[in-house]
Amino acid sequence: DTGVSQDPRHKITKRGQNVTFRCDPISEHNRLYWYRQTLGQGPEFLTYFQNEAQLEKSRLLSNRFSAERPKGSFSTLEIQRTEQGDSAMYLCASSLASLAGGYNEQFFGPGTRLTVL
């Protein structure tokens, strides 16, 4: 399968613990995006990378959230000191942005479902 993959698919943690999720984009896709989806809502944009550079992080929900893409391939999203309100589906997407610009379709992974007890 050459689509976007995310690991783990499900995570249950206790309030106050740190969690880290991994996203592997489609090979050679240079852009990678993170979204959060809570029950009954559409996905909410959090942050995105072009290669290693994080181009937008102002929409990360709090300073407990951070994301990295150190080698421009896979990315990790970390939530520190989890709270019950962090329970949600965390989705990753990737796209191939060309030098010519223009819109690039995002392909989404299956998500990591986080439950904070």
Partner 1 sequence: TQLLEQSPQFLSIQEGENLTVYCNSSSVFSSLQWYRQEPGEGPVLLVTVVTGGEVKKLKRLTFQFGDARKDSSLHITAAQTGDTGLYLCAPRDDKIIFGKGTRLHILP
Q: Which residues bind partner 1 (CB under 8 A)?
A: 4, 31, 33, 35, 40-45, 48, 56, 59, 91-93, 95, 103-106, 108-111
Amino acid at 20: T
Q: Output 19 or 93, the one with its CB closest to partner 1.
A: 93
Q: Which residues of 73-86 are buried (b: 16+ CB within 10 A; e: fewer)?
A: bbbebebeebeeeb
Q: What are phi and psi of 46, to 5 degrees?
A: -110, -55
Q: Output 36 or 116, the one with its CB closest to partner 1.
A: 36
- Least Å distance between CB 23 and partner 1? 11
